[in-house]
């Protein structure tokens, strides 16, 4: 079990002004921020980040959406981080997300679902390394 996970606040949420409220919910849930940046992905970068979904029907839509505006990328720390963060964000489709979860509170659709959360310790490391150098994390 690792104590770190990786998140992005996605372009739908940054453009609606939800960044502060989402970070507040993350911090109040006990996660501490170990690295963070406000940035915007190119379509190439979004495609690489979501490479595992390249064969899925929604891949083009996903890449277009994820490169459509700014995102916040962050490495978060907490005991049992990956699993606890997935619980905090809720189901991929906000219609199925539990009450009080970030996606229930802030997401509008299965595609534009406000936040990303790593699905395994291994992917948390890969995804954190995608965005942050050693000098940018503490």
| Residues lying near ligand GDP in the complex (CB under 6 A) | 58, 61-62, 92, 110-111, 113, 116, 119
CA separation for the pair 7, 9 (Å, rounded): 7
Residue closer to ligand GDP by CB (options 130, 136) is 130
127: which strand partners?
none
Residue 115 Cβ vs ligand GDP, minimum distance, rounded to whole Å: 8
CA distances from 19 to 12, 26, 32, 108, 133 (A): 10, 11, 16, 15, 23
> Which residue's C-beta sits nearest to ligand GDP?
111
Q: What is the DSSP string of 39-60?
A: E---HHHHHHHTGGGTTSTTHH
Residue closer to ligand GDP by CB (options 32, 87) is 87
Residue of 41, 113, 116, 124 with catalytic role: 116
Residue closer to ligand GDP by CB (options 95, 136) is 95
Q: CB under 8 Å to 24, separation ≥6 — which residues?
A: none
CB half-sphere exposure, 102, CA atoms < 13 A:
31
Residue 110 Cβ vs ligand GDP, minimum distance, rounded to whole Å: 5
Residue 94 Cβ vs ligand GDP, minimum distance, rounded to whole Å: 10
Look up 53 and say whether it is catalytic. no
């Amino acid at each position: 079990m690792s104590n770190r996970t990786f998140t992005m606040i996605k372009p739908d949420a940054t453009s609606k002004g939800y960044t502060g409220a989402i970070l507040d919910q993350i911090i109040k849930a006990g996660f501490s921020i170990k690295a963070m940046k406000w940035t915007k992905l190119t379509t190439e970068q979004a495609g690489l980040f979501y490479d595992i979904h390249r064969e899925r029907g929604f891949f083009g839509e996903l890449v277009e959406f994820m490169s459509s505006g700014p995102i916040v990328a962050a490495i978060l720390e907490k005991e049992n981080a990956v699993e606890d963060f997935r619980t905090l964000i809720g189901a991929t489709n906000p219609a199925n997300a539990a009450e009080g979860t970030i996606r229930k509170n802030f997401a509008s659709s299965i595609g534009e679902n406000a936040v990303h959360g790593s699905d395994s310790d291994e992917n948390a490391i890969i995804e954190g390394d995608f965005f942050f150098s050693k000098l940018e994390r503490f």
